[in-house]
Amino acid sequence: MSKTITIDGKIIPFQDGQTIMDAALAADVYIPHLCHQPEFTPHGSCKLCTVKINGRNCTACTFPASEGQEVLSETQELIDDRKKITQMLFVEGNHFCPSCEKTGNCQLQAVAYHLNMLDNHFPLFYPDRNVDASHAEVMIDHNRCIFCTLCVRASQQLDGKDVFAVSGRGINRHLIVNGESGLLKDTDLDVTDHACSVCPTGAILIKRTGYEVPIGQRIYDHQQIDQVSLATEHHKHDE
């Protein structure tokens, strides 16, 4: 007989070695997340997937499932926490959706829509951040980076390169690239690398492709991120 946990009272089977997130995705239960994708080593940094496991808050993407755990996810308290976390992500960077070509395809925005986030609540930082447009085919807009490290992991784990890293702490945290000048053009990044298309926000963009799909017809314009996530990541999880 297979081992099980419960998430919001629903019985979810799991196998040894799976995290709460793995088990949830396999059972078509969506837990909001930004820094996690099933094909990469979990990072646990965005904290959106925080759930209550046997009374303690843990990140579902890093916490191993074990027999009999009682997991709470869609409680009002955790939903409110997730909204506050998302608001903090917004005010910490410069996220101006109307002028971002990722709008409608952006997971940060989609999570905010999913949580019915209508305001930023906090004062805005407006941090000074640069744009690196030096590369012929790819650009980095640091204003939109949320330090999920998906590009770091994709470059290392799928592309066999080491193009990206995150440096500094707190408000000085920033994405760096592996090249002598510190510019993207002096790295071995190629436009076909997975690292170029893994960014959940508009921080890493492939040039001259931003408006191929018109605003209004994009992924999250008519579909919530929970449906998209379960449809695409459940499939990846099974591979």
Partner 1 sequence: MTNKIRVATTSLAGCFGCHMSFLDIDERMLQLVEVVEFDRSPLTDIEHCSNCDIGLIEGGVCNSENVHVLREFRANCKILVAVGACAINGGLPAMRNHIPLEECLNEAYLDGIGVENPQIPSDIELPLLLDQVRPIHEVVKIDYFLPGCPPSADVFWKFLTDLIDGREPSLPYELVHYD
Contact 103, 216 (CB under 8 A): no
109 binds partner 1 (CB under 8 A): yes
Identify the helix (H) or strand (E) that includes residue 78.
helix 76-92
At closest approach, how far in Å is the CB of 100 from partner 1? 8
Site map (CB under 8 A) of partner 1, residues 71-90, x = contact: -------------------x
Sites for partner 1 among residues 125-154 (CB under 8 A): 126, 128
Binding test (CB under 8 A) with partner 1, winner from 99, 167, 172, 217 = 99
Nearer residue to partner 1 within complex by CB, 42 or 104:
104
Residue 112 found at the interface with partner 1 (CB under 8 A): yes
Residue 118: is it exposed, middle or buried by C-beta count within 10 angstroms (0-12/13-18/19+)?
exposed
Asked if 169 is part of the footprint of partner 1 (rule: CB under 8 A), the reply reads no
Examine residue 104 and tell whether it contacts partner 1 (CB under 8 A): yes
Reported in sequence order, the residue ranges of 89-150 that DSSP labels E, i.e. its strands, are 131-132, 138-141
Give the whole-angstrom CA distance, residue 184 versus residue 155. 13
Q: Which of residues 218-237 bind partner 1 (CB under 8 A)?
A: 221-222, 224
The answer to whether 217 contacts partner 1 (rule: CB under 8 A) is: no
Q: Are 201 and 102 in contact (CB under 8 A)?
A: yes
Q: Is 68 in the site for partner 1 (CB under 8 A)?
A: no
Q: Rounded to whole angstroms, how far apart are CA atoms 51 and 116? A: 19
